[in-house]
């Protein structure tokens, strides 16, 4: 396997500061020698028999990373049989034991992060700094649910039908088997963090990683094995979504999907037909608002991070920025200059800031949106070019102005390093234009007045809103829910929502002394009058529901 050297654009580095081709190749070979790929491939669940090999691509080179056995619908059914048997015993284990697995995973991920960073970069093409976000997120979520699961999953006393006579408790039982269909853009974070609360709640899990990022999914599964997760509780099924998505949904009791809105609608329809639950994080056309009192330095820095993290291939990245007229020219000048100075590159090192797009199809979407905008009159303030001299799918961070509703970049999700700027006269216009979308995933507001920012946030139709931050504040606040409105999906990850969705609530009520019915010596009419009087009394007792 050969790797391209790391090239940079913008800020210059000395030759001694730049990793050589030999060092990049050496690091990749250490991470992914053939025997290492074979070992991870063996972690995939397959039924007995021969299987077709699936090529493992990398956005950096034409040479693939290797091959892994492709799962089939038969493999899905086989995995589900094993999982059902394992799940029954797992659910009987004390919650403390299940939580310890997550804490051990936390430590392993941090200890072995160099392997994770290499794999994420080799499969997704992103920069090492952005790959580290996934390592940190996985550790944070592991620790959070290990330490908070007892609070979320503890049985809760509820008000009974009649005071003192009825004792009512709510329990949270595991659903059984949870399916995870993970995306390619955050292969570690989105590949496992949705599975962790499902496991700690007592479920088994079937994971289908994206075909582009299969090795990362297999790697984290091997770490869970090391952390003590019992055999057959978690199965990784490499393959195409078109082949495995429906068979997985046929077998599971709940499905978590991260991906396109179009596919999400199909999954929701199928889940409804089976009467099983689903959680969907879908597309976004996320907006940033820069108010007239914003700190321009902070706003520009936030926009750079929010627009170009993971080369813009982030569900919660910013693709529209609405700037108050009084700051528009200066903000535009600073943002364009900052975007143009970002270091671009491919390679297993920390020296560049923006990596590659993941595939030819992503590159084609980005190019089409930019070319369409330019042909229809948009102005390119920064970037706008494919850079094959740096990497096959590298595209410059691009800032557009004069974007109009007839352009694809205006309303369609680009999912690449492209942002459009718009001047606005006041905050009312900014709010209205930010809400002028079918999506509702993430938003950002920059202002020095925090109360003003909170007031505006309450008027934005988005599942998460960051004030003076682009996306990381809400994303990393894992005790709070994260998810979208409208075409951005349904359901939530993180917090109590992120674990309780994998449970079935069960109410158990104990009735003491006498059933809730007329005694044998009383007529139904008399009983109704007596109960009516009791209800009037309960109405006057504070705190009674």
* Angle (deg, nearest 10), helices 427-434 and 450-457: 40
Among residues 251, 278, 315, 469, the one annotated as catalytic is 315
Tokens of 478: 């894992």
Q: Say how far apart CA 430 and CA 400 lie, in whole Å.
A: 18
Q: Alpha helix (H) ranges present in 170-314?
A: 189-192, 195-200, 214-226, 241-251, 261-274, 296-308
| Active-site residue flag, 315 | yes
DSSP assigned state of 438: S
Beta strands in 336-413 (DSSP E): 379-382, 398-401
Provide DSSP, 483-541: --EETTEES-BSHHHHHHTTEEEEEEEEE-SS-SS--TTS-HHHHHHHHHHHHHHHHTS
CA 147, chain centre distance (Å): 21
Q: Say how far apart CA 530 and CA 413 lie, in whole Å.
A: 62
| Active-site residue flag, 52 | no
Tokens of 99: 């939580």
Among residues 281, 353, 396, 469, the one annotated as catalytic is 281
Residue with tokens 């975007």: 339
Q: Say how far apart CA 57 and CA 222 lie, in whole Å.
A: 21
Tokens of 45: 């669940």
Active site residues: 281, 315
């Amino acid at each position: 396997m050969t790797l391209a050297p790391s090239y940079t654009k913008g800020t210059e580095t000395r030759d001694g500061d730049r990793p050589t081709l030999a060092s990049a190749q050496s690091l990749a070979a250490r991470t992914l020698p053939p025997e290492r790929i074979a070992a991870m491939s063996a972690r995939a669940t397959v039924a007995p028999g021969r299987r077709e090999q699936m090529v493992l691509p990398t956005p950096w080179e034409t040479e693939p990373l290797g091959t892994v056995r492709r799962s089939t619908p038969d493999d899905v059914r086989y995995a589900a049989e094993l999982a059902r048997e394992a799940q029954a015993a797992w659910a009987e284990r004390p919650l403390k034991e299940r939580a310890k697995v997550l804490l051990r995973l936390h430590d392993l991920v941090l200890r072995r992060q160099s392997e994770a960073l290499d794999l994420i970069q080799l499969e997704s093409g992103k920069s090492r700094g952005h790959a580290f976000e996934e390592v940190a997120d996985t550790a944070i979520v592991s620790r959070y649910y290990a330490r908070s699961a007892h609070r979320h999953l503890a049985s809760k006393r509820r008000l009974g039908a009649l005071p003192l006579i009825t004792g009512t408790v709510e329990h949270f039982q595991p659903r059984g088997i949870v399916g995870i269909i993970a995306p390619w853009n955050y292969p570690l974070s989105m590949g496992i963090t949705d599975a962790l609360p499902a496991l700690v709640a007592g479920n088994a899990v079937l994971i289908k990683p994206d075909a582009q990022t299969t090795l990362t999914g297999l790697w984290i599964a091997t770490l869970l094995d090391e952390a003590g997760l019992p055999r057959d509780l978690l199965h990784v099924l490499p393959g195409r979504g078109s082949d495995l998505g429906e068979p997985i949904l046929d077998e599971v009791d709940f499905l978590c999907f991260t991906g396109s809105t179009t596919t999400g609608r199909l999954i929701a329809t199928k889940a409804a037909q089976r009467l099983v639950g689903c959680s969907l994080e879908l597309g976004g056309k996320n907006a940033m608002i820069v108010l007239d009192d914003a700190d321009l330095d902070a706003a520009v820095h936030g926009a750079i991070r929010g627009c170009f993290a993971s080369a813009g291939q982030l569900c919660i990245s910013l693709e529209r920025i609405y700037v108050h007229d009084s700051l528009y020219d200066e903000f535009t000048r600073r943002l364009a200059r900052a975007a143009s100075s970002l270091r671009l590159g491919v390679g297993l090192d920390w020296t560049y800031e923006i990596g590659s797009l993941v595939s030819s199809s992503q590159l084609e979407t980005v190019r089409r949106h930019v070319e369409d905008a330019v042909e229809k009159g948009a102005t390119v303030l920064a970037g706008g070019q494919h850079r094959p001299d740096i990497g096959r799918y590298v595209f410059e961070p691009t800032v557009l102005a004069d974007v109009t509703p007839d352009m694809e970049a205006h309303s369609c999700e680009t999912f690449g390093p492209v942002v459009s700027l718009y001047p606005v006269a006041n905050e009312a216009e900014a709010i209205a234009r930010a809400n002028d979308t079918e999506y509702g995933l993430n938003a950002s507001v920059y202002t020095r007045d925090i109360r003003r920012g909170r007031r505006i946030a309450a008027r934005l139709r988005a599942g998460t809103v960051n004030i003076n931050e682009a996306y990381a504040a809400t994303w990393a606040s894992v005790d709070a829910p994260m998810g979208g409105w409208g075409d951005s999906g349904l359901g939530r990850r993180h917090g109590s929502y992120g674990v309780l969705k994998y449970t079935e609530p069960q109410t158990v009520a104990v009735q003491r002394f006498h059933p809730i019915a007329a005694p044998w010596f009383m007529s139904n009419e008399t009983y109704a009058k007596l109960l009516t009087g009791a209800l009037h009394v309960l109405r006057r007792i504070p705190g009674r529901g």
